[in-house]
Amino acid sequence: MPLSTQGYRISEAKMMTETGEITIRTDEKYRRKSPFVDLWKHLKRNKLAVTGLAIVTVFIIVAIFAPVLAPYDPYKQDLTIRLLPPGSPGHLLGTDEYGRDMLSRLIYGARLSLLVGFSSVGFGLAFGVILGLLAGYYSTLDSIIMRIVDILLAFPGVLLALAIVSALGPGIANVIIAVGVWSIPTISRVVRGTVLYIKEMDYIAAAKALGETDFMILFKEILPNCVSSIVVYATMRLATAILSAATLSFLGLGAQPPAAEWGAMASTGRNYIFQAPYLTLLPGFAIILVVFGFNSLGDGLRDALDPNLKNAL
Amino acid sequence: MELLEVKGLKKYFPVKGGFLSKTVNYVKAVDGVSFNVKQGKTLGLVGESGCGKSTTGRTILRLYEPTEGAIYFEGIDIVTLDKEKLRAKRKDMQIIFQDPYASLNPRLTAGEIIGRAIDIHNIARGKERQRRILQLLDVVGLKREHYNRYPNEFSGGQRQRIGIARALAVNPKLIVCDEPISALDVSIQAQIINLLKDIQEQFHLTYVFIAHNLAVVKHISDDVAVMYLGKIVEMAEKDELFLRPQHPYTAALLSAIPIPDPSKKHSRIRLEGDVPSPINLPPGCRFATRCPERTSICDEVEPDLIDIGGHMVACHHRR
């Protein structure tokens, strides 16, 4: 018989024993729940975040199943059907200057963007999280690490990535490194800030009093409490990484033609901007959509993971 | 037998300032504190906020590195221990915190919190470890089904019980109770105090009990030390101190305890002025600026803590 008290269900089970009937009640609120169930509960109230999640999901599915979804080979040229406008029979989004199917190229472009986004953010996280943990925890290392980070931060935006790619030479792998390096300073700042706050908590003092080593305190006490801010920041950072990779490709420093990369596609499409503006607009629109998706998802995650808001709701 | 002997303990926190963050001054949080605690007894450490009582408690456990002084635990000076030896020794000395909301890692369940304490010192493994965690939950008055719950699913009092279980998990000899009940509801305070008393008897624990509530200290302590601005101004056996307070500061503190009888006339000693800054201490007696019995010597010479017959006091006028 389900009862309802104070908003959570109490289920009862009756059992017969020799001494008579006993009732066992389980308070469902106290069953261990997956953290994802909880997260989704908060996230779904935020329409923008759900939209973001939908866009990101579609983007990832498209990227993974590109060979299945793409109607044509994105690199197959057919000069007899050059510059078909969108809506042409057989080529939903038209063809480019070499007669390659735009839809297929956009679908394959999602692959490259996903690859660059995830690997560069992964690269940035690997270094940024460690540096942030060390800087936040050891005050002696703090000023050294943070001064280096300040130097990296002093470079305006893409300029740092541009400098790195120019030094290493153009190509996707170097773009990943460049965008990754560019992510390190901000990621380490975010992690350091969280560590500075957490290391003053009494449970860290308790861990010290119990004799936990610095390594255990950093990775078993502090890091798990940084995860939510890292997840939020990494999600937003994915948007920036995809955008800057596209920028570098647009400038001719990233993916090289004929690669189906959104930035590179927009770049080559520029030459036909008056005859076939969709060559530039479609990849641009794809970039906007994905960046918007990751940003709104990150915003929503930040709100959903905020422990203070969580209790208030 | 003395379990803990603290001698001339000092803890100064540097005050940084200027362009290259040079140390410009020191906050003298604890400035020469000495006391002994006998095995199985409780020393109450009282004083107003900012007097250094919590710092003293944490420095005893070397959560802060002492600036000066010696801390003898079972005859061994733990200030001189290196990292590894200290880690092993930490098993014998534990702490219970004031704020039950900040003292538990929110990402761990109650069982994991207690289990981690057991694992660090390799106290039990496998089935025995599990049995021990459940037994500890039982000792502190929690149920088996609390094992898998996260701290945010507990009330303040229950959280404090988890904190106590964590401290007990390593079989300590000494527990520093850093205002363990100040953050709790009045109705819960009595429960936690009684729990602390019960486990003291059961596990032969020695307490350094830090509090600002004199009634609570009177209830739980054997000896009481009164701190003012980083120094002990008076220390005596509990009944002696409460019956015959010697130091004017202690007298003022005791007069502030409300008497639960409206017909009784209550004469309260009101202290004027503020506590001086622990960065810039007065040259003579630290209490002189607020003392009703101040004379010229108080502004010039700092009084030592002197035994006047079973009663230690630091005042020029009580000799």
Distance (Å, whole) CA B65 – CA B79: 8
Question: What was the pLDDT predicted at A309?
Answer: 53
Which of these, A54, A126, A109, lies nearest to A283 by C-alpha position?
A109
Mean pLDDT of chain B: 91
The number of CA neighbours under 13 Å toward the Cβ of A190 is 21
Chain B residues near residue A209 by CB distance under 8 angstroms:
61, 63, 90, 93-95
Question: What was the pLDDT predicted at A16?
Answer: 47
Say whether residue A140 is in contact with chain B using an 8 A CB cutoff: no
- What are the tens digits of pLDDT across the range A118-137? 999 999 999 999 999 999 99
Which of these, B95, B39, B105, B79, lies nearest to B209 by C-alpha position?
B95
Tell if the CB–CB gap between A225 and B105 is shorter than 8 Å. Answer: yes
Region of poorest pLDDT, from A9-13, A62-66, B218-222: A9-13
Distance (Å, whole) CA B207 – CA B225: 13
Contacting B residues, span 14-43, partner chain A, CB-CB under 8 Å: none
Q: Which helix (H) or strand (E) holds B228?
A: strand B223-228
* Rg for chain A, CA atoms, rounded: 25
- What are the tens digits of pLDDT across the range A84-111? 888 888 888 988 888 899 999 999 999 9
Say whether residue B121 is in contact with chain A using an 8 A CB cutoff: yes
Question: What was the pLDDT predicted at A106?
Answer: 94
C-alpha B291 chain-centroid distance: 25
Question: What was the pLDDT predicted at A204?
Answer: 96
Distance from CA of A198 to the nearest CA of B (A): 10
Tell if the CB–CB gap between A210 and B170 is shorter than 8 Å. Answer: yes
Tell if the CB–CB gap between A206 and B166 is shorter than 8 Å. Answer: yes
Percent of chain A with pLDDT over 70: 86
Which of these, A187, A185, A178, A128, lies nearest to A158 by C-alpha position?
A178
Cα A298 to Cα A38, A43, A287, B40: the distances in Å are 16, 11, 17, 55
Taking CA atoms, what residue in B is nearest to A207? B117
Largest CA distance in chain A: 90
Residue A33 has pLDDT above 90, yes or no: no
Interface test with B, best of A33, A198, A202 (most B CBs within 10 A): A202
Contact predicate B117/B170, CB 8 Å: yes
Residue B160 has pLDDT above 70, yes or no: yes
Cα B154-B155-B159 angle, rounded to 5 deg: 70
Chain A residues near residue B90 by CB distance under 8 angstroms:
209-211
Structure tokens at A118: 């995830």
Question: What was the pLDDT predicted at A307?
Answer: 59
Question: What was the pLDDT predicted at B87?
Answer: 93
Output DSSP code: residue B210. Answer: E
Say whether residue A215 is in contact with chain B using an 8 A CB cutoff: no
Distance (Å, whole) CA A254 – CA A247: 8
Taking CA atoms, what residue in A is nearest to B150? A32
Q: In terms of DSSP bridges, do strands B42-46 and B206-211 run parallel, antiparallel, or are they unpaired?
A: parallel
Distance (Å, whole) CA B4 – CA B25: 31
- The contacts of residue A73 (CB under 8 Å, 6+ apart) are A104
Cα B99 to Cα B53, B157, B207, B273: the distances in Å are 16, 10, 18, 29
CATH H-level, domain B2-313: superfamily: P-loop containing nucleotide triphosphate hydrolases (3.40.50.300)
Output DSSP code: residue B308. Answer: S
Distance (Å, whole) CA B232 – CA B304: 10
Residue A4 has pLDDT above 60, yes or no: no
Contact predicate A168/A178, CB 8 Å: yes
**Among candidates B61, B88, B102 on the partner chain, residue whose Cβ is nearest the Cβ of A201:** B102
Question: What was the pLDDT predicted at A10?
Answer: 44
Residue A311 has pLDDT above 60, yes or no: no
Region of poorest pLDDT, from A64-68, B269-273, B285-289: B269-273
pTM above 0.90, yes or no: no
Structure tokens at B230: 């980083």
Question: What was the pLDDT predicted at B294?
Answer: 87
Packing angle of the helix pair A223-250, A278-305 (nearest 10 deg): 170
- What are the tens digits of pLDDT across the range A199-214? 999 999 999 999 999 9
Q: Which helix (H) or strand (E) holds B236?
A: strand B231-237
Q: Where are the beta strands (DSSP E) in chain A?
A: 3-5, 8-17, 20-27
Contacting B residues, span 192-211, partner chain A, CB-CB under 8 Å: none
Which of these, B105, B13, B26, B2, lies nearest to B55 by C-alpha position?
B13
- What are the tens digits of pLDDT across the range B7-65? 999 999 998 877 777 888 899 999 999 999 999 999 999 998 889 999 999 999 999 99
More confident residue, B279 or A121: A121
Which of these, A64, A257, A97, A281, lies nearest to A172 by C-alpha position?
A257
Q: What is the mean pLDDT of residues B137-166?
A: 92
Structure tokens at A105: 């190229």
Q: Which residue(s) pair with B43 in the sheet?
A: B208, B223
The helix/strand/coil state of A17 is strand
Neighbours of A216 (CB within 10 A): 16
Which of these, B167, B183, B184, B163, lies nearest to B175 by C-alpha position?
B167
- What is B33-99 written as a DSSP string? EEEEEETT-EEEEE--TTSSHHHHHHHHTTSS--SEEEEEETTEEGGG--HHHHHHHGGGEEEE-S-
Mean pLDDT of chain A: 85
Confidence label for A27 from pLDDT (cuts 50, 70 and 90): very low
A vs B, Cβ pairs < 8 A, gives 65
Question: What was the pLDDT predicted at A42?
Answer: 82
